[in-house]
Amino acid sequence: MIEKKTSIPDSLTLHGKVLQKEGLQEYADECSGSSEKWKADLGQFLTSWLTGGEEIIVKTSGSTGEPKLISIPKTAMIASAEASGTFLNLKAGDTALLCLSASTIAGMMMVVRSMVLKLNLILIPPDGKPCKNIDPEIKTDFAAMVPAQVFNCMSDDKGRAYLSNIQKLIIGGGEISAKLEQQLQDLPNAVYATYGMTETITHVAMRRVNGKNRSEDFKTLPGIEISTDERGCLIIHASRISDKPLITNDLADITGANTFRWLGRADNIINRGGKKLIPEMIENKLANLIEFRFIIAAFPDEKYGQVPVLIVESDPIDAIESERLMDLIRQHLPYDEIPVRLIPVRKFAETGNGKINRPATIVLLNQT
């Protein structure tokens, strides 16, 4: 863990204007009184950072267990910011975009990175389509978005043009679909998928998803070491961030001293007659075959215990179309991975950041 003597930065450059501690606190007070929730959240975080002691209280995402409130040392947040800056080669004066809520660790860390690395932070409301009110000619050096925001921006020319002008774009908070990753190949800038969670103070690893350096493997940030447990789940060793190794529920294949490939979630595994199937890996094989949003899930079976089923976000599908799709799927999957049924659900349940909520979506099956 970082020593307590690490100095806590108390100035921030916003839209080109440097706010020292007193001015920043005045800005925080102004934001805290705003009727706009995103501004109030930003004000509350800034106040906690400037006056709230040595730790910040945040709610976990549930990646390592049930969601809960945890305390994160500010010094650990600073260490995380420094590691990201080194990995991405961010420099003082670079422009950063905050389009995420400061009530989440992802939004908080964009503010902290800007303080620590002396970036010029640009604020916009954390909308699902953050590019809609931005001049596409404006160049941004660094931004973080969730997959749904990137997907929405890629849906029109203006949004795509703005994304192209973000020199370094990191995407976190959920998996990037194979279709979205394919779309991102046309962007001329550097786009990264991140791996991390609240407990690791956002990302501890990244992988390039486009360009000549594109990779399926995540590379850890400076100071991060990795291993796996008996389940094959990733263990993160980050002494500058946490005193103890962090055991995750993420299945991973370690491919090098500081690289790994994410396979899926241990709690999503389908145990088909003793053979363990990873839904996320099956979904990747089907990504270019199915036009709907979909997931592979486990369903009880008298013979095998569990079998895979295909759940699609769609209005009811007629028998002919359903069989056509299933025939196509059978051509691309080994026998054990072939879904035994196709089940349409009108609308998937989602998490707060637009990611499919698998358990809640499965519950919806009983209501359709």
pLDDT in tens, 264-278: 999 899 999 989 999
User: Pseudo-torsion of CA 275, 280, 285, 290, nearest 10°?
Assistant: 120
> What average pLDDT does the segment 155-161 reach?
88
Confidence of residue 169 (pLDDT cuts 50, 70, 90): very high
Per-residue pLDDT at 352: 64
Alpha-carbon distance of 312 to 27, in angstroms, equals 46
- Alpha helices by DSSP H, listed for 89-235, are 105-117, 147-153, 157-164, 178-183
Find the angle CA(137)-CA(147)-CA(143) to the nearest 5 degrees: 40
Residue 248 Cα to chain centre, angstroms: 15
pLDDT, residue 357, reads: 83
Residue 280 tokens read as 């996320």
- Kindly list the distances between the CA atom of residue 110 and the CA atoms of 106, 193, 304, in Å, as whole numbers in the listed order: 7, 16, 47
**CA Rg value for the chain:** 22
**Segments in 33-146 forming alpha helices (H):** 37-51, 74-88, 105-117
Q: Which helix (H) or strand (E) holds 22?
A: helix 21-32
- Paired with 185 in beta bridges are none
Query: Which structure tokens are listed for 333?
Result: 């999957």
**If you average pLDDT over residues 117-140, what whole number do you get?**
86
- CB 112: neighbour CB atoms within 10 A? 25
Confidence (pLDDT) at 4: 44
Mean pLDDT of the chain: 89
pLDDT at residue 1 is higher than 60: no
Whose tokens are 């007659």? That residue is 273
At 351, is the pLDDT very low, low, confident or very high (cuts 50, 70, 90)? confident
Whether the predicted pLDDT of 170 surpasses 80: yes
d(CA 58, CA 69): 6
The confidence score (pLDDT) of residue 220 equals: 96
Residue 13 CB neighbours (<10 A)? 19
- 3-state SS class at 190: strand
Mean pLDDT of 250-262: 95
Cα 172 from Cα 80, distance rounded (Å) = 15
Q: Which of 262, 266, 261 is nearest to 276 (CA)?
A: 266
- For residue 353, pLDDT over 80 is answered with no
The answer, yes or no, to whether residue 223 has pLDDT greater than 70, is yes
CA distances from 66 to 60, 61, 172 (A): 8, 8, 20
Q: Which amino acid is at 55?
A: E
Q: Which two tokens stand for residue 247?
A: 């055991």
Domain boundaries, the chain: 12-266, 269-367
pLDDT of residue 61: 63
How far apart, in whole angstroms, are the C-alpha atoms of residue 298 and residue 305? 9
Q: Which of 111, 189, 108, 180 is nearest to 147 (CA)?
A: 180
Q: Find the mean pLDDT for residues 164-192.
A: 91
Higher pLDDT, residue 301 or 97 = 97
Instruction: Give the predicted TM-score (pTM) of the model.
Output: 0.86
Instruction: Classify 12-266 by CATH class.
Output: alpha beta
Whether the per-residue pLDDT at 115 is higher than 80: the answer is: yes
Which range is least confidently modeled, 244-258, 325-339, 342-356? 342-356
pLDDT at 367: 56
CATH of domain 269-367: 3.30.300.30
Confidence of residue 368 (pLDDT cuts 50, 70, 90): low
Average pLDDT over residues 120-124: 94
Write down the pLDDT at residue 2. 40
Q: How many residues does the chain have?
A: 368
Per the model's pLDDT, the better-predicted residue between 368 and 159 turns out to be: 159
The pLDDT tens digits for 305-321 are: 999 999 999 888 888 88
Q: If you average pLDDT over each of 3-17, 73-87, 230-244, which comes out highest? A: 73-87
- pLDDT score of 116 more than 60: yes
Neighbour-count burial for 234-273, b at 16+ CB within 10 Å, e otherwise: bebbbebbbeeebbbbbbbeeeeebbbebbbbbebbbebe
Domain 12-266 matches domain 269-367 at the CATH topology level: no
- pLDDT confidence of residue 92: 96
CA-based nearest residue to 329, from 316, 315, 314, 339: 339
Classify 70 as helix, strand or coil.
Answer: strand
